[in-house]
Amino acid sequence: MIELIKSGGWLMLPIILCSIAAMAIIGERFWSLRKNKILPPELIPQIWKLHRDRKLDSNAIRSLKVSSPLGAVLAAGLANSAHGREMMRVSIEEVGRQVVHELERFLNTLGTIASIAPLLGLLGTVVGMIKVFSAIMLHGVGDPGILAGGISEALITTAAGLTVAIPSLIFHRYFERLVEEYVLNMEEEALRLIDIIHGDREEMK
């Protein structure tokens, strides 16, 4: 493996760094985007129970805010529920944008790696072919061993770049789709919360 990397030339270094960064981001996102962490299944029943028992005070809302991304979104609405349906919706949207930004953390970097890795491989191909033609100019085509180094460098860097880019692109698309699903679920729960809170208040009137 070491010899293979050496054969790829100096452009293997940035490709290897891209692969390390991509693996780190993929591992971190898998850990951070667990469904139980983003959308705790026990959170909604807990909120409805507190609402029925009239225990949704400031302390409960503060605890809800730090519990999870979904909790932060719903806590923003509950904190402004006394100011009307529209204010509740606006506050949920504002916090929701912050939550989405946090959920998408590092995804732009992963997408960038997926884009630049094959370009680095292509650059390695160009460099390798330049070496091939330089060798031809100096020594002719009689000695295939002289040409093999440049051709090997061209092929190895191209393969390495694609090896990094393909899984990076796959996981980038996967995490983007996962975040979209989480956002839709949070929006659905937030709308239900608004309807229930203000529906109960209208019934009380």
Query: What's the whole-model pTM score?
Result: 0.83
Nearest to 107 by CA among 26, 189, 47, 10: 26
- Give residue 196's region: left, alpha or beta (phi > 0; psi -120 to 50): alpha
Higher pLDDT, 58 or 119: 119
Task: Dump pLDDT digits (tens) for 150-181.
Answer: 677 778 889 999 999 999 999 999 999 999 99
Three-state SS for 34? Answer: coil
Buried b (16+ CB within 10 A) or exposed e, 126-137: ebbeebbeebee
Task: Dump pLDDT digits (tens) for 73-115.
Answer: 988 888 887 777 888 888 999 999 999 999 999 999 999 999 9
User: Can you tell me the distance from the alpha carbon of 10 to that of 110, in angstroms, rounded to the nearest whole number?
Assistant: 22
204 pLDDT higher than 60: no
8 pLDDT higher than 80: no
Q: 């694609």: which residue's tokens?
A: 162
Mean pLDDT score of the chain: 85
